[in-house]
């Protein structure tokens, strides 16, 4: 039997999180369509518990208490839940920040002899290898 999900997914208080999960019964049929495609009911129940117990709200999005990073939207899908409004925005901002930090840290990157050797073995002598995140090109 299909269940109808509530579409209001704005979270503003910790009680909203528990209410959000309680008001969105698990649609077992949708679990097979999760990004990993492997979630089952036991996984969904475990993830739902983590969303309530291991997160806190920051600007309407859930973040992990352990590291302050936003909960990936795929966790909601894997738990058979709709994605809250602010969650994708928080994830996009986090990804942009981490990518910018990575690029800045690797701006003047020079390969070590070991890295060059490994790249030559993998791609061939004289190959150009591109770091797809920073855009840096290295000729090995």
State pLDDT tens for residues 76-115.
Answer: 988 888 888 899 999 999 999 999 999 999 988 899 999 9
Secondary structure of residue 138 in the 3-state scheme:
strand
Tell me: pLDDT of 26 over 90.
no
Sequence-distant (6+) residues with CB within 8 A of 27 are: 2, 3, 5, 80
Distance (Å, rounded) from C-alpha 100 to C-alpha 69? Answer: 16
Closest CA to 51 of 39, 65, 30, 37: 65
Q: With beta carbons less than 8 A apart as the criterion, state whether 82 and 9 touch.
A: yes
State pLDDT tens for residues 37-79.
Answer: 556 788 888 999 999 999 999 998 999 999 999 999 989 988 8
């Amino acid at each position: 039997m299909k269940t109808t999900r509530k579409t209001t997914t704005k979270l503003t208080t910790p009680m909203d999180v528990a209410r959000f999960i309680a008001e969105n019964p698990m649609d077992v049929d949708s679990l097979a369509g999760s990004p990993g495609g492997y979630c089952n009911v036991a996984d969904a129940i475990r993830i739902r518990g983590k969303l309530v117990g291991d997160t806190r709200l920051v600007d309407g999005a859930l973040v992990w208490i352990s590291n302050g990073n936003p909960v990936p939207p795929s966790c909601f899908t894997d738990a058979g839940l709709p994605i809250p409004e602010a969650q994708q925005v928080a994830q996009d901002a986090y990804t942009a920040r981490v990518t910018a930090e990575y690029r800045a840290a690797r701006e003047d990157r020079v390969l070590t002899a070991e890295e060059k050797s490994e790249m030559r073995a993998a791609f061939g002598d004289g190959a150009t290898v591109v770091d797809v995140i920073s855009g840096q090109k290295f000729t090995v």
